[in-house]
Amino acid sequence: MRKIAQHQNVFCKVSGLVTEADWKHWKADDFRPYLDVLFDAFGPNRLMFGSDWPVVCLLGTYRHVKQLVETYVKDFSQADREKIFGGNAALFYG
């Protein structure tokens, strides 16, 4: 991911977290090391939240997945949270 992030024109969608975890035993802290790498590599200007819907419905809810990322970014600025939860997607997809 760090190598990919070196290309400034590349954005990353934070998605598919729980579908790649142990479906019955995951907890929010399991994802911190992965989120650390993504946020360190891409920063809040090139990351966007994605729910992995409808696949996420196999093991959780949209709310569960969104809460994982919301908790991670709770201490980020309001402007950065707005980028991650919509602004970057609007910029990327136009």
pLDDT for res 92: 94
34: CB partners within 8 A, 6+ apart = 17
State the pLDDT at residue 59: 74
User: What confidence score (pLDDT) does residue 22 get?
Assistant: 77
pLDDT score, position 78:
98
pLDDT score at 19 = 78
Give per-10-residue mean pLDDT for the chain (94 aa).
Answer: 96 87 81 96 97 80 88 97 97 92
**Nearest CA among 18, 21, 12, 28 for reference residue 56:** 18
- Which ranges constitute the DSSP H helices of the chain? 2-5, 32-42, 62-72, 78-82, 88-93
Other Cβ atoms less than 10 A from the Cβ of 15: the count is: 17
